[in-house]
Amino acid sequence: MASTTTLLTFRAGWSRVPLVGWLFGALLAVTLERLVGGPLALAVGLPKIPALFGLDIMLKKPLLIPNAILYVLLLYGLPMGIATRASIAPANRLATGLYRLPIVVTTIVYIGLLYAIFHVWAEVNDYRALVLKLTLIAIMFTLSLNVINGYMGEFSCSHPGFMALGAYCTSVFSLGLFVDTRFFGTALLPPALGPFLFPVTLVLGGILAAAGALIVAVPSFRTRGDYLAIISLAFLFIVKSLIENLEFVRGPRGLSGQPDWANLPTVFLWTIACIWSINNFVRSTIGKALNAVRDNELAASAMTVDTRRTKMVAFLFSAFWAGIAGGLFAHVLRYVNPGTFGIQSLAEVLAMVYFGGLNSVYGSIVGAVSISLLGEALRPLEIFKWIIIPLLLILVMIYRPTGLVAFKDVDVTSLFRPKTGPGEEA
Amino acid sequence: MPVLEVRKMSHNFGGLRAVNGYHLEIDPGQIRGLIGPNGAGKTTIFNLISGIYTPMEGEVLLNGQKVNGLPSHRIASMGISRTFQNLLLWRHMTVLDHVKMAHYSRIRYGLVGAFFGTRQRLREEEEIEERALELLEMMGIRHLADQVVLNLPYGAQRRVEMARALATEPKVLLLDEPTAGMNPEELVQIMEIIRRAHREFGLAILLIEHRLKVVMELCEKIQTLNFGEVIAEGTPEEIQNDPKVIDAYLGKESVI
């Protein structure tokens, strides 16, 4: 009992740290790592800076785990803990100032800070940058699936297929138009234009994915039930074997040599755009109609909700973002083949959705980040990681059936609010 | 002109004639009752009028305009609202969201507003919220606005459903057993709410009810239904003394 209360009072010391305080704390920690990370790693007995908070060496060199934990505590825990605690008053003043600005400006400042943290953190090595980019893409993908499986309460299996459509569409455009390749011939447009037209080709990929979604949606939304799950699973296989058999996109060999346009800022901004628009959507009355349709479709239509339109819009919107995620994915790896978008990928994204939490923007972020990091940490186990992740998933399903952080959207104003005490002036 | 008119409406379920030649005329501001033993087809009539089923024969006219055959959300937005016998609420949504949702057909900000959060959306959402809160105030459940309906007591859930039905700004309200499962105290309250809704919105109300006390007190005219057909129609007094109604409820007096 006594230890719990001490722990609680200990934690309460940080309860008044506003978001901006945490961001500056994290920025301090990653900057420190950038400056003294190498020597410190050597000092605590690690060969180099642990790339993913020590997760990556957990199984490769189990003996070094205590050293890695010490490193993380010294570099992240301690500076962040002290800095955030010590700067509560100025951080709250800053938060108050920011809070009074127009919401757009405030948001840009916060997003800029967040990007700075990611940027400094990822600069340490290329592996980090790659994992970070793939995690951000996983967030987009998970969130797009959560719109259907969580908010709408139907079961879609076709999202890897939408991702494949987006990936291939974008790749064909950027390889065909801007790169000299053996299979698409010489570049049609000057490569310098590429980075500027990249968003356009991404959106085209998203639109193609949405068009694919239309094919699934038209027959399956006439009635309720398991139809969507079955039809969408069929669609996934159709897309995969279609690509495998299309010589135009080099079949199972896949496309490679995509230009390096999906750098960290690009992926980051698209992820923010995805989170922002999906969060906007699910918080509007039009988007909440999805919940009404899920909880009781009959009542929804009796209360003037156009249920068919609601479901169609959500499905196409969700497929669009899956397509964008696919386009980015192809350009991050600079290689894409149909085998990537199979049942394995479906299982992975479903795990992220259900682990993180249904009907939840935060949950999708938590799910995508934790399963991605876990996947990296368990990489030495190779295929056996697919025994551990499902086991974890089963445990989550038993103890928290709707996932870790279910039913929680992002409320930007409460997120940015300074955390002053009741008597103080905000 | 009657606000709602039903002409010779019939419907079959397979070989069963669930509703046969049903007719109805409600004038604006009138409260009508619909009674009958279990399985007589009362709820089916509601489902036919509100578009959940499409009538096989006959017509449903709202202000002289034909509505049968339209999808139910269109019928609802044209002005026929209803409650359900077994409380079809959205179990994960808050009370306020329920009432806001019923404004769906009047939202004008469209998908652009939904995806990008335009100013128009902010304004409209605020207006909807204000109206929803007024309705909750009227139903006496404003303090529950942020609660998830799942956690509410039965009487409060009934009020939420009522507020939701009124939020569509109906011309005709179909109430399917609004007092089912209520204790006498709640009964008095819900009757007061029905009266208030009737008075303040000038609604025409069609009421399915098993408790004769409620029907007798509220309704001007009552129809009695048995095996899908209207067997008696009239004022509460006439209905109470009609031998066919007594037969339908209690069975024929048999002489050995």
Q: What is the pLDDT of residue A422?
A: 47
Measured between beta carbons, the chain A residues lying within 8 angstroms of B125 are: 284-285
pLDDT, tens only, A331-381: 999 999 999 999 989 999 999 999 999 999 999 999 999 999 988 888 888
Q: Which residues of B fall below an 8 Å CB-CB distance to A?
A: 50, 52, 71-73, 76-77, 81-82, 84, 88-93, 97, 100-105, 107, 109-111, 113-117, 121, 125, 128, 164-165, 167-168
Please tell me which of the candidates A287, A301, A407 has its beta carbon nearest to residue B114.
A287
Measured between beta carbons, the chain B residues lying within 8 angstroms of A292 are: 90, 93, 101
CATH of B82-173, one of 3.40.50.300, 3.30.110.30, 3.40.30.10, 3.40.190.10: 3.40.50.300
Which residue, A114, A140, A146, A139, is CA-closest to A369? Answer: A139
Which residue, A96, A154, A172, A148, is CA-closest to A278? Answer: A148
Q: What is the pLDDT of residue A4?
A: 67
pLDDT, tens only, A113-127: 999 999 999 988 899
Judged against a pLDDT cut of 60, whether residue B57 lies above it is answered with yes
Which residue, A219, A204, A202, A223, is CA-closest to A158? Answer: A219
Judged against a pLDDT cut of 60, whether residue B130 lies above it is answered with yes
CATH of B1-29+41-73, one of 3.90.1150.10, 3.40.50.720, 3.40.50.300, 2.60.40.10: 3.40.50.300
Q: Euclidean distance between the first and final Cα of chain B, in Å?
A: 51
Last residue of a domain, one of A70, A89, A122: A122
Task: Count CB pairs under 8 A between chains A and B.
Answer: 108
CATH number for the domain that contains residue A248: 1.10.3470
Mean pLDDT of chain B: 90
Q: Euclidean distance between the first and final Cα of chain A, in Å?
A: 35
pLDDT, tens only, A276-285: 999 999 999 9
**Secondary-structure percent of chain B, ordered helix, strand, coil, rounded to 5:** 45, 25, 35
Interface probe, candidates A277, A295, A304, chain B, greatest B C-beta count within 10 A = A304
Dihedral (Cα; A396, A399, A405, A408), 10-degree rounding: 130
Would you give per-residue pLDDT tens digits along chain A (426 residues)?
556 677 777 777 788 888 999 999 999 999 999 888 888 888 888 888 888 887 877 777 888 888 888 988 988 889 898 888 888 888 888 989 888 888 889 999 999 999 999 999 998 889 999 999 999 999 999 999 999 999 999 999 999 999 999 999 999 999 988 888 878 877 888 888 888 899 999 999 999 999 999 999 998 887 777 888 999 999 999 999 999 999 888 888 999 889 989 999 999 999 999 999 999 999 999 999 999 999 999 999 999 999 999 999 999 999 999 999 999 999 999 999 999 999 989 999 999 999 999 999 999 999 999 999 988 888 888 778 888 888 888 998 899 888 888 888 888 888 888 876 544 443
The set of residues, in sequence order, having a beta carbon less than 8 Å from that of A371 and lying 6+ positions away, is A138, A348, A351, A352, A355, A356, A389
Q: CA A313, CA A213: separation in Å to the nearest integer?
A: 10
Please tell me which of the candidates B81, B107, B168 has its beta carbon nearest to residue A285.
B107
Please tell me which of the candidates B73, B84, B91 has its beta carbon nearest to residue A301.
B73
pTM of the predicted protein model:
0.91
Same domain for A35 and A66, yes or no, is: yes
The ipTM estimated for the assembled molecules is 0.90
Query: Does the beta-carbon distance from B115 to A277 stay under 8 Å?
Result: yes
Q: What is the pLDDT of residue B256?
A: 57
Same domain for A271 and A312, yes or no, is: yes
Q: How far is CA A236 from CA A143, A154, A164, B124, in A?
A: 19, 16, 9, 39
